Amino acid sequence: MKILVFNCGSSSIKFKLFHLPEETVLAEGVVDRVGTEDASASLKTPRGKLEIKRAIEDYPHGFSVIKDLLLDPKNGALRSLAEVNACGHRVVHGGEKFSGSMPVDDELEQGIEAVFELAPLHNPPNLTGIQQARQLFGNIPQVACFDTAFHHSIPEIAYRYALPEDLYLDHKIRRYGFHGMSHQFVARRAAKMLGKHKYAVNLITCHLGNGSSVAAIKDGHSIDTSMGLTPLEGLVMGTRSGDLDPGIIFYLHRKGYDTDSLDTLLNKRSGLLGISGSSNDVRDLELKANGGDEKATLALDIFAYRIKKYIGAYLAILNRVDAIIFTGGIGENDSAMRTRVLADMDQLGIIIDDSRNSVHIGEAGEIQAVTSRTKVMVIPTNEELAIARDTYAMTKNIAHGDT
Ligand code: ADP
């Protein structure tokens, strides 16, 4: 089956075409800066690369550009759109309703719309992407895969905030958690690598990228995670503050910050960028820190310290942990950051092996020392493949079209 995966953001449409069950990638591409004069679109297939620069007014236009790229006679990936058997879509917020990937129908679309308020920047373009794909591909199955769904198993003790109950009942204010496709993907892969059943592992999964989150996984199910109602809570991120004293917000409000400027401050000007004053990218910061830049060193140290605190908290709630997993751009590639995070945890039975750690850059493997009680693993994530797999599992018996 050919499965086309979409990840639609406010100004970009990423897509990837897979062949399942072989899991080969037939094409991948992106439309960037949708809604502007200087938009661009690109496609990469085993046959070559295509790049377009032109104004792309809106989403329907973006999807028609994707169609042209995929059908390009020279470097495209399809002879006809009818070759696509199903589409899978990343949807950021599934609210309390969706505990797993779901086939798209009108009711599901309404369900995504019902939680627009909880993810105002993400769910509207996610839904537009689904609607465009339904129009473009006609009567083939479409599947929605939610970033929140894997965390549906989090118990009330972990998902409720210490706020009056009506805020939960009337406004649905609770922890939802995000990066679920990634936490689930690496948890399942870890279970395989450990030779255990997927529901027999206790894990702490650290997804460290521009956005970062940690999850506590018990018997294969998420029981807590660092992101909350929104992706702002928890770890220090590229430009997001993560946890802070809510009192800071009133304090700044009284100093004249309005809602929008607070939003920009905490989402776009904080985190690694805010502390270092120079970059949100750990590669730049590692270089600067090695060159003696104290602010860059502080940013990396605070980033690592926050992860260590969450690992400590999750060790306490899980009691037995089979493995700590590192994934995401930073978790997979930055061995120095892994060392920073797990330094001085030997009394807790966690010891990293320096030479194994330096070998596993962007590739899966175990990096703990032989004396470590808990395993430490690097596992590259693949959210698009996770979506393609769910879409395949849900549609393989019903998909139409030519293969
Ligand atoms: P996103 O959350 O946007 O998907 P990624 O998972 O791609 O982000 O992670 C981006 C982060 O990963 C950046 O801070 C970048 O510096 C870091 N990163 C990517 N590649 C490397 C590398 N080879 N070495 C160290 N850090 C890396």
Does 75 sit in the ligand 1 pocket, CB within 6 Å?
Answer: no
Distance from the alpha carbon of residue 213 to the mean position of ligand 1, in angstroms: 14
Query: Which residue, judged by its Cα, is nearest atom 25 of ligand 1?
Result: 334
402 pLDDT tier (thresholds 50, 70, 90): very low
Domain ranges in the chain are 2-146, 197-383
Closest atom of ligand 1 to CA, residue 334 = 25
385 pLDDT tier (thresholds 50, 70, 90): very high
Does 228 sit in the ligand 1 pocket, CB within 6 Å?
Answer: no
Q: In terms of DSSP bridges, do strands 102-103 and 365-366 run parallel, antiparallel, or are they unpaired?
A: unpaired
Place of tokens 């690598």: 193
Mean pLDDT of 69-75: 95
SS3 for 162-189 is CCCHHHHHHHCCCCCCCCHHHHHHHHHH
Residue 226 is encoded by which pair of tokens?
Answer: 């660092």
Domain at 197-383: CATH code: 3.30.420.40
Answer whether 2-146 and 197-383 agree in fold.
yes
Catalytic: 147?
yes
Q: What pLDDT score was predicted for residue 249? A: 97
Residue 33 is encoded by which pair of tokens?
Answer: 């800066």
pLDDT digits (tens, 9 = 90+) for 289-323: 999 999 999 999 999 999 999 999 999 999 999 99
Distance from the alpha carbon of residue 365 to the mean position of ligand 1, in angstroms: 18
Residue 388 is encoded by which pair of tokens?
Answer: 């393609």
Q: List, edge to edge, every strand of the sheet that includes 212-218.
A: 221-225, 212-218, 203-208, 323-327, 375-378, 365-366
Burial of 372 (0-12, 13-18, 19+ CB in 10 A): buried
Does residue 394 contact residue 142 with C-beta atoms inside 8 Å?
no
pLDDT digits (tens, 9 = 90+) for 2-39: 999 999 998 899 999 999 999 999 999 999 999 999 99
Nearest C-alpha neighbor of 325 from the set 342, 309, 340: 342
CA distance 189 to 182: 11
CA distance 233 to 235: 7
Does 209 sit in the ligand 1 pocket, CB within 6 Å?
Answer: yes
Distance from the alpha carbon of residue 330 to the mean position of ligand 1, in angstroms: 5
Q: Quick one: what percent of the chain has pLDDT higher than 70?
A: 99
Does residue 216 contact residue 314 with C-beta atoms inside 8 Å?
yes
Q: What pLDDT score was predicted for residue 312? A: 98
For the cut 50, the answer to whether the pLDDT of residue 401 exceeds it is no
SS3 for 280-342 is CCHHHHHHHHHCCCHHHHHHHHHHHHHHHHHHHHHHHHHCCCCEEEEEHHHHHHCHHHHHHHH
Distance from the alpha carbon of residue 29 to the mean position of ligand 1, in angstroms: 19
For the cut 80, the answer to whether the pLDDT of residue 400 exceeds it is no
Annotation: CATH topology of 2-146 = Nucleotidyltransferase; domain 5 (3.30.420)
pLDDT digits (tens, 9 = 90+) for 344-376: 999 999 999 999 999 999 999 999 999 999 999
pLDDT digits (tens, 9 = 90+) for 125-181: 999 999 999 999 999 999 999 999 999 999 999 999 999 999 999 999 999 999 999
pLDDT digits (tens, 9 = 90+) for 218-270: 999 999 999 999 999 999 999 999 999 999 999 999 999 999 999 999 999 99
CA distance 316 to 213: 18
CA distance 86 to 339: 42
For the cut 50, the answer to whether the pLDDT of residue 216 exceeds it is yes
Q: Which of 147, 224, 293, 322 is catalytic?
A: 147
Distance from the alpha carbon of residue 329 to the mean position of ligand 1, in angstroms: 3
Does 330 sit in the ligand 1 pocket, CB within 6 Å?
Answer: yes
pTM for the structure as a whole: 0.95
H or E stretch covering 254: helix 247-254
Q: What pLDDT score was predicted for residue 383? A: 96
397 pLDDT tier (thresholds 50, 70, 90): confident
Does 210 sit in the ligand 1 pocket, CB within 6 Å?
Answer: yes
Q: What pLDDT score was predicted for residue 403? A: 39
272 pLDDT tier (thresholds 50, 70, 90): very high
SS3 for 3-25 is EEEEEECCCCEEEEEEECCCCEE
For the cut 60, the answer to whether the pLDDT of residue 399 exceeds it is no
Q: What pLDDT score was predicted for residue 398? A: 72
